[in-house]
Amino acid sequence: TASAGQDKLKPNIIKLISDEISLPLTHIINLIFEHNKVPDEFKFANITPIYKAGNSMEVQNYRPISVLPAFSKLMERLLHDIIYVFL
């Protein structure tokens, strides 16, 4: 299962309540696209260092993983799909 971001919501929870939140979420995402302004809450990520190889005491042997809020990932996917169709 996917990890929760700053909003503490896992994507599978969004799927479970999608019928209840689809209209207000559509309205919010349309406003974001219309005003070209992404809420700051969508921009924060939990960053976790993941060990790659070598000496575990050396910072260069880690790579960052960013976990974005669930709604941010959803909006990003919608934007990707719109641009993909356009191109």
In a domain, 64, yes or no: yes
Contact 6, 45 (CB under 8 A): yes
- Mind listing the pLDDT tens digit for each residue in 28-72? 889 988 999 988 888 888 898 999 999 999 999 999 998 888 888
User: 0.75 cut: is pTM over it?
Assistant: no
In a domain, 20, yes or no: yes
* Residue 50 exposed, middle or buried by CB count within 10 Å (0-12, 13-18, 19+): exposed
Range of the domain at 65: 11-85
- Total domains in the chain come to 1
Task: Write out the two tokens for 20.
Answer: 């209840």
In a domain, 81, yes or no: yes
In a domain, 4, yes or no: no
In a domain, 3, yes or no: no
For residue 6, pLDDT beyond 60: yes
Cα–Cα distance for residue pair 31/81, rounded to 1 Å: 17
In a domain, 75, yes or no: yes
In a domain, 59, yes or no: yes
- CA triple 65-57-6, angle to 5 deg: 25
Cα–Cα distance for residue pair 29/35, rounded to 1 Å: 10
